[in-house]
């Protein structure tokens, strides 16, 4: 099988698949239109998120048998059309769930204990203790929306922190030793810390907006390592300013490019959305990281290994 690599990934992919009869070509730079002209030559694609695999792309991919997405989210792929065309869509959320879970905990501990702020102050010769008094996780109710690979991994990491973990998911009967499934109304009534782990779909686009935030009974901390467009940024900013959201830890932003490689924020002077972004980047109540929650040394290898194992399970040719 002839496979096109559209993003750089761990070399174990080619090292393990080549002996099994897979042939590889790399193209890490060509734009969408150029890739489109040659895609009919390939049986498979391995990609992260560099270009969209939309219906037009797939209609040109006349010999394609599989698309392997090294990662979790599939919003850049027209999954329904791919499946209707007999193309197998493979992803690897199992590969970076541990790094996402650790990132959530890391950001929360830094945010709630003002660690960045206190460290910067001490390095600048400022010694303030009362002003940097922290807030403990223990005894709080941690609410999770989306109890798939990422949500479950976060719940498992919280087992030693003395928190009550509840979650809401569209699928039923998911309660386990790490978390208890509840209605969305119950989650809104009880949550002290809200962590989002949903894909981006029409139903989850701007899920966290003024209406949702106002329905939360308590003032709360908010964590988003899912997708930036799950959150309506201007409503998030207003809630932080009013104190309804006590602090936010954001690994993703509404203004990211589709490839997740950088920001694509509006830049015109006075643009309201741009002012919202400025607020997030300058607020002491907000931690922002560049979409790296699933981005560790270990996850790079694990993501690739999961992809290899799934490809071989479906398409072993020798």
- The catalytic residue among 25, 227, 254, 261 is 227
d(CA 23, CA 62): 18
Q: Report the DSSP beta bridge partners of residue 193.
A: 142, 221
Cα-based angle 43, 49, 50 (whole degrees, multiple of 5): 85
- From residue 287, alpha-carbon distances to 81, 250, 267 in Å are 38, 6, 22
Whether 67 and 47 have beta carbons less than 8 Å apart is answered as: yes
- Helical segments of 77-224, H only: 79-84, 97-112, 115-123, 149-157, 184-190, 210-215
Matching residue, tokens 């490689």: 261
Confirm whether 55 is a catalytic residue: no
Give Cα 157 to chain centroid, integer Å. Answer: 17
d(CA 224, CA 315): 36
d(CA 76, CA 231): 18
Q: Find, among 247, 230, 233, the residue nearest to 283 by Cα.
A: 247
Confirm whether 291 is a catalytic residue: yes
Show the tokens assigned to 18. Answer: 């080549």
Q: Report the DSSP beta bridge partners of residue 208.
A: 231
Q: Kind of pairing, strands 44-47 and 23-26?
A: unpaired
Task: Give the chain's end-to-end CA distance (angstroms, integer).
Answer: 11
Confirm whether 227 is a catalytic residue: yes
- The catalytic residue among 50, 103, 168, 291 is 291
- From residue 22, alpha-carbon distances to 48, 88, 141 in Å are 19, 16, 49
Q: Which residues are catalytic?
A: 227, 256, 291
């Amino acid at each position: 099988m002839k496979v096109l690599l559209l993003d750089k990934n761990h070399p174990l992919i080619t090292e393990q698949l080549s002996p099994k009869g897979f042939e590889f070509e790399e193209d890490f730079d060509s734009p969408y239109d150029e890739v489109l002209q040659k895609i009919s030559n390939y049986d498979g694609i391995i990609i992260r998120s560099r270009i969209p695999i939309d219906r037009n792309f797939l209609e040109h991919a006349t010999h394609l048998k599989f698309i392997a997405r090294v990662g979790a989210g599939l919003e850049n792929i027209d999954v329904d059309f791919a499946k209707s065309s007999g193309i197998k869509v493979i992803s690897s959320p199992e590969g970076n769930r541990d790094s996402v879970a650790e990132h959530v905990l890391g950001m929360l501990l830094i945010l709630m204990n003002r660690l960045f702020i206190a460290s910067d102050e001490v390095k600048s010769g400022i010694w303030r203790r009362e002003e940097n008094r922290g807030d403990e996780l223990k005894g709080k109710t941690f609410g999770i929306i989306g109890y798939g690979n990422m949500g479950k991994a976060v719940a498992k990491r919280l087992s030693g922190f003395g928190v009550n973990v509840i979650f809401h998911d569209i699928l039923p009967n998911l309660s386990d030793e790490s978390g208890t499934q509840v209605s969305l109304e119950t989650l809104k009534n009880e949550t002290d810390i809200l962590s989002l782990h949903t894909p981006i779909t029409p139903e989850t686009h701007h899920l966290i907006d003024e209406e949702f935030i106002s329905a939360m009974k308590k003032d709360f901390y908010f964590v988003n390592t899912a997708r930036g467009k799950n959150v309506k940024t201007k409503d998030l900013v207003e809630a932080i300013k009013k104190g309804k959201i006590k602090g936010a830890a954001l690994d993703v932003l509404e203004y990211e490019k589709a490839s997740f490689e950088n920001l694509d924020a509006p830049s015109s002077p006075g643009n309201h959305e741009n002012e919202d972004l400025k607020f997030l980047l300058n607020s002491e109540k907000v931690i922002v990281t560049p979409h790296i929650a699933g981005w560790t040394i270990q996850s790079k290898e694990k993501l690739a290994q999961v992809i290899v194992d799934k490809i071989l399970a479906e398409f072993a040719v020798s």
